[in-house]
Amino acid sequence: MVQCAVLVALYELTPIFSGDVAVTTDESEENVAPENDKDSECKGDCVLCDTKDTVLQESHSIPKFAYDWMRETSKTGFLRDMDDVNKRHQDGPKKYLLCGDCERKLAVLEKQLAENCFKKIANYQKQKTTITITEGIRVAVLSIFWRALITTDDRSNDRTAEDNIVLKNFLIEAKEQILAEQCMFQICIAPFIGGAPYYDLPSGVTYNLERGCGSQDARFGDNPHRYFIAFKLPFMYFYIFSDGWHASEIRKSTYFRAGNLRLDTIKDIPNTLKTYILDLQHQFNASKRMMNIRSMQQIINDVEKNKKITGSDKSMLRSKKKKQ
Ligand SMILES: [Zn+2]
Tell me the chain's radius of gyration from C-alpha atoms.
Answer: 20
pLDDT tens-digit series, residues 4-46: 333 345 555 543 332 222 222 333 445 666 655 555 689 999 9
Higher confidence at residue 288 or residue 66? 66
Residue 276: closest CA among 320, 222, 323, 232:
232
Determine the distance separating the centroid of ligand 1 and the alpha carbon of 57, expressed in angstroms.
10
Q: Report the separation in Å between the CA atom of 142 and the middle of ligand 1, taken as the mean of its atom positions.
A: 16
Total residues found in the chain within this entry:
324
Rounded distance from Cα 168 to ligand 1 centre (Å): 19
Q: Give residue 119 CA to ligand 1 midpoint distance, Å.
A: 28
Measure the CA–CA gap between 296 and 302, rounded to whole angstroms: 10
In whole angstroms, what is the distance from residue 191 CA to residue 120 CA? 10
Q: pLDDT at position 83, please?
A: 79
Determine the pLDDT at residue 87: 85
Which alpha helices (H) appear in the chain, and where do they start and end?
64-72, 100-113, 119-121, 135-150, 161-180, 206-211, 247-250, 271-288, 293-305, 311-320
Q: Comparing 289 with 155, which gets the higher pLDDT?
A: 289
Task: Determine the distance separating the centroid of ligand 1 and the alpha carbon of 105, expressed in angstroms.
Answer: 9
33-42, 150-159, 198-207, 228-237: segment of lowest average pLDDT: 33-42
> Do residues 36 and 57 make contact, with C-beta atoms less than 8 angstroms apart?
no
Q: What is the pLDDT of residue 57?
A: 93
pLDDT tens-digit profile of 40-79? 689 999 999 999 999 999 988 899 999 999 999 998 888 8
Distance CA 59, CA 50 (A): 15
Mean pLDDT of the chain: 86
In terms of C-beta density within 10 A (0-12 exposed, 13-18 middle, 19 or more buried), how is residue 262 classed? Answer: exposed
The residue-averaged pLDDT of 169-196 equals: 96
How close is the Cα of 282 to the center of ligand 1, in Å?
38
pLDDT over 50 (residue 3): no
Give SS3 for 127. coil
CA distance 148 to 216: 6
CB atoms within 10 A of CB 159: 19
Q: Is the pLDDT of residue 142 over 80?
A: yes
Please name the residues in contact with 199: beta carbons below 8 A apart, sequence gap of 6 or more. Answer: 190, 267, 268, 269, 274
For residue 136, pLDDT over 90 is answered with yes
Over the stretch 152-181, which tens digit does the pLDDT of each residue have? 777 777 889 999 999 999 999 999 999 999
Ligand 1 centroid to Cα of residue 80, in Å, is: 31
pLDDT value, residue 287: 87
- How many angstroms does the Cα of residue 95 sit away from the middle of ligand 1? 14
- Quote the pLDDT of residue 48: 97
Cα(132) to ligand 1 centroid in Å equals: 28
239 CB-side CA count, 13 A: 24
Distance between Cα 241 and ligand 1 center (Å): 28
For 272-285, the pLDDT digits (tens) are 999 999 999 998 88
Instruction: Output the CA 148–ligand 1 centroid distance in Å.
Output: 17
Task: Tell me the helix, strand and coil percentages in the chain, rounded to 5.
Answer: 40, 20, 40
Where are the chain's structural domains? 57-291
Whether 191 shows a pLDDT value over 60: the answer reads yes
Q: Which residues contact 1 (CB under 8 A, 6 or more apart)?
A: 221, 222
CA gap 284, 281 in Å, rounded? 5
Identify whether the C-beta of residue 24 lies closer than 8 Å to the C-beta of residue 10. Answer: no
Distance 101 CA to ligand 1 centre (A): 6
Highest mean pLDDT among 59-73, 102-116, 208-222: 102-116
Q: Taking Cα atoms as reference points, which of 278, 148, 284, 158 lies closest to residue 221?
A: 158
- In this predicted model, what pLDDT tens digit does every residue of 253-265 receive, in sequence order? 999 999 999 999 9
Q: How far apart are the CA of 139 and the centre of ligand 1, in A? A: 16
Cα(51) to ligand 1 centroid in Å equals: 6
Distance CA 154, CA 149 (A): 10
- Ligand 1 centroid from CA 177, angstroms: 14
Ligand 1 geometric centre to CA of 108 (Å) = 14
